């Protein structure tokens, strides 16, 4: 289900016509001050991005144009979207995003070339019920990357080349992980060699593009270290890697359970991560920031799911406070951090409300009516 999106308030529109409004202004007094632009406020730090899909590109266009100067396709550049069946490349929805970015002078991030999810089964299949051979899978990986990166050459300036190759415990993600949706057939067939091969293929297709490794929960010490070792190894082998993406799907509260990943979701741990990756001379992009209002690992009954009514100003203030702390950290490390992207635009459309649980979440800077939340005010205050 996709919620219909309300129109952004007039005040948020950069180009709201003044004629009629001036008449009203005379009658009711001063017009509310226009909401200042987030991207403009951060112009001396880093571009501010948002993940978009084909709907939000239209329904949230006013917010996008006013507050963001970079976009990422939420799904439209993923393997299953651009090559659903072998050799049939479909670029229409992604091309629309590229055109939007160009029209509004925004940067376009490319996401993502090689991932264990959202990749069609044919990629790993020999067509006779078994796995593709190493040679066939490598050829498919190379053809996919050459075609996709080649298509967007000159439009997409940075690619998340490989997404999520390492598990929370620091081991490479294999084809034998317990949960089926955690398994990587890339690794199952090619071992870790698919990672370097993907970066090399991307570089060959567009030598001017920046190439990133993207990962989640990088604040976990074991995972942080494993990603570091992997990147260090790739660089030592002369593999063209230019940066690391920190997804940064955050939560308003850390977990109090040491066995839960969010126990480590602190400013201190994320700072160590940024410093460690920067020590390799790599750029850091925060690629998918949002902030769930639920505590990871805690069980919630449907009756405890928050709604627009029960997401109180106090809860919003708590979220704003934590957003403020993370953005302070990002600004502090502006030498290393060269882009910060939100995974969505406003609370009326977020993967967290659509994902698995169906519980409504409120993770972004703008509310379901596209009005700036306290978190917006907070990260604008410095």
Rounded CA separation 77/367 (Å): 27
361 interacts with ligand GLA by CB under 6 A = no
- Residue closer to ligand GLA by CB (options 8, 231) is 231
Q: Assess whether 314 carries a catalytic annotation.
A: no
119 interacts with ligand GLA by CB under 6 A = no
Tokens of 22: 């001036």
CA distances from 373 to 35, 100, 188, 220, 316 (A): 11, 26, 44, 29, 8
Rounded CA separation 250/368 (Å): 19
Collapsed DSSP state (helix, strand, coil) of residue 210: strand
Name which position in 206, 253, 288, 367 contacts ligand GLA (CB under 6 A).
288
Q: How far is the CB of 146 from ligand GLA (least distance, A)?
A: 22
Q: Assess whether 288 carries a catalytic annotation.
A: yes
Q: How far is the CB of 165 from ligand GLA (least distance, A)?
A: 12
On whether the CB atoms of residues 361 and 250 are closer than 8 A, the answer is no
215 interacts with ligand GLA by CB under 6 A = no
347 interacts with ligand GLA by CB under 6 A = no
Which residue is catalytic, options 76, 215, 283, 288? 288
Which residue is catalytic, options 164, 215, 253, 316? 164
Instruction: Tell which positions 134-193 bind ligand GLA, by CB under 6 A.
Output: 163
- What mask, x for binding ligand GLA by CB under 6 A, covers residues 96 to 115? ---------------x----
- Residue closer to ligand GLA by CB (options 110, 188) is 110
CA distances from 262 to 277, 282, 293, 365 (A): 20, 25, 13, 21
Q: What's the half-sphere exposure (Cβ side, CA atoms, 13 Å) at 379?
A: 30
Tokens of 38: 């987030």
**Ramachandran assignment for 87, one of left (phi > 0), alpha (psi -120 to 50 degrees), beta (any other):** left
- Residue closer to ligand GLA by CB (options 311, 351) is 351
- Residue closer to ligand GLA by CB (options 73, 145) is 73
Q: How far is the CB of 218 from ligand GLA (least distance, A)?
A: 12
**Residues annotated catalytic, as ranges:** 164, 288
């Amino acid at each position: 289900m996709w919620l219909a999106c309300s129109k952004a308030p007039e005040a948020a529109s950069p180009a709201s016509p003044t004629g009629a409004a001036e008449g009203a202004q005379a009658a009711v007094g001063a017009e509310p001050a226009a909401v200042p632009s987030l991207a403009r406020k951060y112009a001396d730090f880093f571009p501010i991005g948002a993940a978009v899909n084909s709907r939000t590109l239209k329904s949230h266009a006013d917010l996008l144009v006013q507050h963001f100067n970079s976009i990422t396709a939420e799904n439209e550049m993923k393997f299953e979207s651009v090559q659903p069946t072998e050799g049939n490349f479909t670029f229409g929805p992604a091309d629309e995003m590229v055109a939007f970015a160009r029209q509004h002078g925004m940067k376009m991030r490319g996401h993502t070339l090689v991932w264990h999810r959202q990749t069609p089964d044919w990629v790993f299949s020999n067509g006779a019920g078994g796995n593709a051979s190493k040679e066939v899978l490598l050829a498919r990986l190379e053809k996919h990357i050459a075609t996709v990166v080649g298509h967007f050459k000159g439009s997409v300036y940075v690619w998340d080349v490989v997404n999520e190759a390492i598990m929370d415990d620091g081991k490479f993600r294999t084809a034998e992980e317990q949960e089926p949706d955690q398994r990587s057939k890339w690794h199952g067939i090619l071992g870790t060699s698919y990672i370097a091969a993907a970066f090399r293929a991307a570089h060959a297709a567009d030598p001017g593009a920046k190439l990133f490794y993207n990962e989640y929960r990088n604040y976990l010490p074991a995972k942080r270290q494993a990603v570091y070792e992997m990147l260090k190894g790739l660089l030592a082998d002369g593999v063209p890697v230019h940066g690391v993406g920190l997804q940064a799907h955050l939560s308003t509260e850390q977990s109090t359970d040491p066995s839960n990943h969010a126990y480590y979701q602190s400013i201190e741990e994320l700072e160590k991560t940024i410093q460690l990756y920067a020590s390799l001379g790599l750029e850091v992009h925060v690629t998918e920031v949002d902030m769930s209002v639920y505590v990871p690992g805690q069980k919630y009954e449907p009756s405890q799911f928050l709604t627009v009514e029960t997401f109180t100003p106090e809860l919003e203030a708590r979220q704003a406070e934590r957003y403020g702390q993370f953005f302070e950290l990002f600004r502090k490390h502006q030498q290393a951090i060269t882009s910060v992207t939100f995974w969505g635009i406003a609370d009326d459309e977020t993967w967290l409300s659509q994902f698995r649980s169906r519980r409504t979440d409120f993770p972004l800077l703008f509310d379901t009516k596209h009005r700036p939340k306290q978190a917006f005010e907070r990260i604008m205050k410095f």
